[in-house]
């Protein structure tokens, strides 16, 4: 169980990404279109400035706790596939396979399909082209698939460029809100209600869109096999990247409250557009629409860059088609795995069923978040088998085991909440997950044959 992935897995991929690339991949996996929209969802649940900012701050602390957990895991197991490798080494190859199975069929492809259609909507609004949303979404996914097949350097360069544009769009929203849009007229602020079970339930409901907005840090670990000095650069990229996102998210919410007020924020469904329209008129609204389109495209680029490395690792372990583990002799990237990711995302986008898939992504995703965080307990129990100096040199989770345990509990609570609120959709997600069990034994038997 202490063995790392096969030597050929580490040697065949080329390490061409540095710390800046790791930071951009971390931030790109988190920032999509949610921060431009989700503030109003939170405001409708908790309608006082203190609670609104408090919920986003709490979500940021949870994301930072997760970043430290994944940073320690990355330092201990800097292998191809990241989260897949952690689950394989800590528990069993079958657990890792089920994660890869869910990633391909539900988590990654469903999310990418939904984001691709979101990009298509904003793109068509901006350009006025007489094209179908399905066509624009398909072209976006196909183009990013092709770019990433050209090499990890090409894919990362596009991803970093789009990430910088995303940051500039968010900074423009913040600065315009602070400098050009007048503050919201004085309003009667609701007093913060006393602590009660009802308040805790309300905060829990508000945390759902916040946790979604902060999610995605884990995908950076998928490309650990292509990061230079992964034991150093990947943990630093995780911590710096998540910290940067937390600062940006809190600043956006401060601006939303300053310009729109609590009542205005809860009354709109397009807070970013409203702020830019107040600051710069229709030109500002169009500018932020372009920023949201770029942000969604950047999220797609990050997903196309990272997730195929999990399917590549599965093929290396003999748990997927052998061709998925093939690397192009010149670009040194798993182009078959990348093509499969793009194809599945396109199929779901064309089917129009991505929204239903997203309804049951949550429970499956957070099951594996909790399991992956639990890997820290497993690896630390084995530390007596490792060189003490090497262990002490790794990034450590501050406050462990309390912080790690709390994160695991939060993950389980999210799963329980989705089972309670969406039992039918949760059962569909769990059924797809369970369908991976016979698939695992099929590949296991095929590997031994």
What is the number of H-type helices and E-type strands within the chain? 18, 0
What pLDDT does 253 receive? Answer: 95
Looking at residue 106, what is its pLDDT?
A: 81
The answer to whether 27 and 246 have CB atoms below 8 angstroms apart is: no
- Identify which of 102, 111, 168 has the alpha carbon closest to the alpha carbon of residue 141: 111
User: Phi then psi for 270, rounded to 5 degrees?
Assistant: -135, 65
How far is CA 116 from each of CA 139, 249, 278, 409, rounded to the nearest angstrom?
Answer: 9, 22, 28, 32
Q: Closest by alpha carbon to 294, among 23, 26, 19, 36?
A: 36
- The domain limits of the chain are 14-353
Q: How many CA within 13 A on the CB side of residue 173?
A: 33
| pLDDT at res. 9 | 40
Which pair of structure tokens corresponds to residue 361?
């992504």
Nearest residue to 253 (alpha-carbon basis) of 31, 32, 37: 37
pLDDT of residue 384: 55
Q: What is the mean pLDDT of each run of 10 residues along the chain (449 residues)?
A: 41 77 89 85 87 92 90 82 90 94 86 85 86 90 90 83 90 92 70 67 80 84 84 89 94 93 88 91 90 89 88 91 86 89 89 66 84 92 60 70 91 81 78 92 84
What is the pLDDT at residue 93? Answer: 93
Contact 231, 394 (CB under 8 A): yes
- Predicted structure pTM score: 0.84
For domain 14-353, the question of CATH label 3.30.465.10 is answered with no
Count of alpha carbons within 13 angstroms of residue 233, beta-carbon side: 20
Return the SS3 of 194.
coil
- For residue 310, the model assigns a pLDDT of 92
């Amino acid at each position: 169980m202490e063995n790392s992935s096969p030597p050929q897995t580490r040697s065949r991929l080329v390490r061409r990404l540095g710390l800046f690339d790791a930071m951009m991949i971390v931030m790109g996996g988190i920032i999509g279109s949610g921060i431009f929209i989700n503030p109003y969802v939170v405001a409708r649940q908790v309608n006082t400035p203190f609670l609104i900012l408090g919920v986003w701050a709490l979500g940021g602390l949870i994301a930072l706790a997760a970043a430290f957990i994944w940073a320690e895991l990355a330092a201990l197991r800097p292998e191809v596939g990241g989260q897949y490798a952690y689950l394989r080494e800590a528990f069993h190859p079958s657990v890792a396979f089920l994660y890869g199975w869910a990633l391909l069929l539900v988590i990654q492809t469903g999310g990418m399909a939904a984001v691709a259609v979101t990009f298509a909507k904003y793109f068509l609004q901006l350009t006025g082209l007489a094209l179908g949303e399905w066509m624009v979404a398909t072209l976006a996914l196909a183009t990013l698939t092709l770019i990433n097949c050209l090499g990890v350097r090409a894919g990362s360069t596009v991803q970093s460029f789009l990430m910088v544009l995303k940051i500039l769009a968010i900074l423009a929203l913040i600065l315009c809100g602070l400098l050009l849009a007048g503050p919201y007229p004085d309003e009667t602020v609701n007093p913060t209600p006393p602590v009660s079970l009802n308040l805790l339930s309300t905060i829990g409901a508000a945390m759902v869109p916040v946790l979604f907005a902060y999610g995605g840090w884990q995908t950076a670990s998928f490309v650990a096999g292509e990061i230079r000095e992964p034991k150093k650069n990947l943990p630093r990229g995780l911590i710096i990247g998540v910290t940067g996102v937390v600062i940006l998210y809190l600043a956006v919410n401060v601006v939303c409250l300053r310009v729109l007020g609590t009542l205005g924020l809860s009354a709109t469904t397009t807070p970013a557009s409203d702020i830019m329209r107040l600051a710069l008129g229709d030109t500002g609204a169009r500018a932020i629409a372009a920023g949201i389109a770029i942000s969604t495209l950047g999220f797609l680029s990050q997903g196309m860059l990272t997730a195929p490395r999990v399917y590549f690792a599965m093929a290396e372990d003999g748990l997927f088609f052998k061709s998925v583990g093939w690397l192009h002799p010149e670009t040194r990237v798993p182009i078959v795995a990348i093509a499969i990711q793009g194809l599945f995302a396109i199929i779901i986008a064309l089917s129009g069923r991505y929204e239903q898939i997203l309804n049951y992504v949550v429970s499956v995703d957070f099951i594996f978040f909790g399991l992956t965080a639990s890997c820290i307990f497993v690896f630390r129990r084995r530390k007596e088998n490792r060189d003490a100096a090497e262990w002490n040199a790794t990034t450590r989770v501050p406050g462990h085991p309390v912080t790690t345990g709390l994160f695991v509990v939060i993950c389980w609570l999210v799963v329980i909440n989705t089972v309670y609120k969406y039992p039918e959709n949760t059962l569909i997600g769990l059924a797809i997950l369970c369908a991976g069990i016979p698939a695992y034994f099929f590949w296991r038997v095929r590997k031994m044959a």
